[in-house]
Amino acid sequence: MTERHNRLDLEPDTVERDLVKLVLTVVELLRQLMERQAVRRFDEGELSEDQEERIGLTLMLLDDRMTELRERYGLRPEDLNLDLGPLGPLLPRE
């Protein structure tokens, strides 16, 4: 992957795609954090069955919508993982 894929390109015809890429990256980071928190709460027995089902359904719907938006803008999941230089990638590699 070239360095060009890991930064925003401010050409007029790519601004919308790059903005969507940035927004989806932030949403994906939050989705992964919410998922980890839900798994932790589930493992610790903090959730009722109804809460578990609602959280699971919400995370599945969010994942589906993220997939739709990525496909609409021609983005792959790895395109949302920004390289932070010496800090490494923004999102953990799954």
Q: Give the Cα separation of 21 and 64 in Å (integer).
A: 16
Q: Which domain holds residue 56?
A: 16-72
Residue 84 lies in a domain: no
Which three-class secondary structure state does DSSP give residue 83? strand
**Residue numbers in the chain where pLDDT is lower than 70:** 1-10, 12-13, 93-94
Residue 93 lies in a domain: no
- Residue 53's pLDDT is what? 94
- Residue 9's pLDDT is what? 59
Backbone region of residue 45 per phi and psi (left: phi > 0; alpha: psi in -120 to 50; beta: other values): left
Q: Residue 40 corresponds to which tokens in the numbers above?
A: 């932790």
Residue 29 lies in a domain: yes
- Residue 17's pLDDT is what? 85
The structural domain count of the chain equals 1
Residue 94 lies in a domain: no
Residue 80 lies in a domain: no
Residue 7 lies in a domain: no
- Residue 2's pLDDT is what? 46
- Residue 58's pLDDT is what? 94
